[in-house]
Structure 1
Amino acid sequence: MAYRSTEKTRAAQAQRRAALLTEATALVASGGFSAATVKAIAEKCQVSVGSVYSYFDGSADLLAAVFRVGADQELAAVRAAVDNADGAADRLRALVETFARRAIKGRQLAWSLLFEPVDPRIDAERLTYRASYHALTTEILRDGMASGEFPPQHLEVTAAALIGAISESLTGRLSPTHAVTADSTDDARTVEAILRFCLHGIGFVGHDNPASSATPIEGTHR
């Protein structure tokens, strides 16, 4: 009985911790990391501030955990879209479009995950997730080169350049100072422009893609 009680206690603690992270992530999605204070999280969950701290080793640990929750769900969505696509070119399209569309739709969360100044712990987490996107992009490029869809190029450099282009091209769009509009056409044009740049940048020319009329990049190398 004592063993079962311990397992139940652990399960209950894990559930309460998950509930705290859910509320904290919602606060970040609506107002950024600055809105996810321990006091605000405690009020949302109707618990004491001390109770919140019992599940995390300080506010920096809490924010890092919140970052991982948000970053995990975005990375999972991108990976699912990539896995459901056929061929390297379509997989790259899926990566670019899914990342950009989700960022624009949930721009406060995207801004916080990508750019908001917070804590050195968050910067370290960003590097970890950037490495995950880099690995995924490198895999797509390698497959595209092997199949002949993409011309030979430096995998690591090209993957890093694509990731940087996608995120940096969204900076102004995601900024809290950017005026929000309900113009979905403008959103679509933004995503298409990013996709066109990425496809052009790797020298891909297809029959049914936004960069079909672009001239391949010269001087690429392995």
Structure 2
Amino acid sequence: MAYRQTPAIEAKLQDNKTRILKAARALVSEGGWQEAQIANVATTAGIATGTVYRYFPSKAELFADVLSRVSQREVDVLTDIAASDASTQERIHSMVTTFVIRAMRNPRLAYALIAEPCDKAIDEVRLQYRAAISEVIRGVIEAGQTDKRFRNDVRADIAATVIVGGFMEGLIGPLSPLANTAQMNEADQRVEIETLANQIAALACSSIAAKAG
């Protein structure tokens, strides 16, 4: 008879995996991909190094899973905005500002997700993440072209790719571990982030806005 895991064992296995992923994310948030060595992940999770390898045969697979899970949450947030009743222009503006503000809440993690040099396996997930965000934005741009708010002389998929590339590139400097926003007090930091978010969003919207008249 085939062996079947008991509910208790299945729960323990799932708990171990959750602890590993939480530990890896915490370490990436503190010091980027280089900080999240398998031995560090195991120590932070309170388990043996060999146990980590039982769930993730390589560091690259662990990192790819962390990136995939965090990225999917951001895609889900933008998808909710895209499905709102706001105008198409308001939705694009809100999607960009929301992404920027959320990224700046945890700049070290966002820098790792967007720009930090990484293994090929991680970079492949990163590209999938960008493509998923571009697809959500493409849908709103197409709707805006239909309602005449957005220009029709550019392809929606190209416009979406340019917008995503633009706001991610615009974030690299502020997200960099060398940025000085962390030295500001909380109130000034909030104003700086909101200004950054609105400026990037305004540029994104103006690039696709229909010409008056």
Q: Given the two structures, how large is their TM-score scaled by the length of structure 2?
A: 0.89
Q: Given the two structures, how large is their TM-score scaled by the length of structure 1?
A: 0.85
Residue of structure 2 equivalent to 1:90: 90
Give, in angstroms, the shift of residue 29 of structure 1: 1.3
Moved more, 20-29 or 180-189: 180-189
Give, in angstroms, the shift of residue 47 of structure 1: 1.1
Residue of structure 2 equivalent to 1:220: none
Q: What are the residue-to-residue correspondences of 1:89-128 with 2, within 5 Å?
A: 89-128=89-128
Q: What are the residue-to-residue correspondences of 1:188-199 with 2, within 5 Å?
A: 188-199=194-205
Q: Which amino acid aligns with 1:156?
A: D
Distance 1:164 1:52 in 2: 34
Q: Would the aligned equivalents of 1:85 and 1:94 in 2 still touch at CA under 8 Å?
A: no
Moved more, 9-18 or 104-113: 9-18
Give, in angstroms, the shift of residue 7 of structure 1: 4.6
Q: Bigger relative contact order, structure 1 or 2, given CA contacts below 8 A and separation 6+? A: 2
**Among the aligned pairs, what percent are the same residue?**
27
Residue of structure 1 equivalent to 2:169: 168
Structure 1 unmatched runs, 5+:
205-215, 218-222
Residue of structure 1 equivalent to 2:66: 66
Q: Would the aligned equivalents of 2:78 and 2:133 in 1 still touch at CA under 8 Å?
A: no
Distance 2:115 2:71 in 1: 13
Match of 2:117, SS?
coil
Give, in angstroms, the shift of residue 73 of structure 1: 2.1
> Judging changes above 3 Å, is the alpha-carbon distance between structure 1 residues 34 and 85 closer, same or farther for their aligned structure 2 residues?
farther
Per-residue deviation, residues 88-116 of structure 1 (Å, max 9, x unmatched): 11211221011111111211111000011
Give, in angstroms, the shift of residue 150 of structure 1: 1.5
Give, in angstroms, the shift of residue 149 of structure 1: 1.9
> Judging changes above 3 Å, is the alpha-carbon distance between structure 1 residues 93 and 170 closer, same or farther for their aligned structure 2 residues?
same
Match of 1:170, SS?
helix
Match of 2:178, SS?
coil
Match of 1:47, SS?
coil
Give, in angstroms, the shift of residue 177 of structure 1: 1.1
Residue of structure 2 equivalent to 1:213: none
Q: Which amino acid aligns with 1:134?
A: S
Q: Would the aligned equivalents of 1:104 and 1:174 in 2 still touch at CA under 8 Å?
A: yes
Matched, 1:155 2:153: no
Q: Would the aligned equivalents of 2:82 and 2:137 in 1 still touch at CA under 8 Å?
A: no
CA RMSD of aligned residues (A): 2.0
Aligned length, in residue pairs = 206
Residue of structure 2 equivalent to 1:15: 15
Structure 2 unmatched runs, 5+:
none
Distance 1:166 1:139 in 2: 18
Q: Would the aligned equivalents of 1:25 and 1:69 in 2 still touch at CA under 8 Å?
A: no
Match of 1:151, SS?
coil
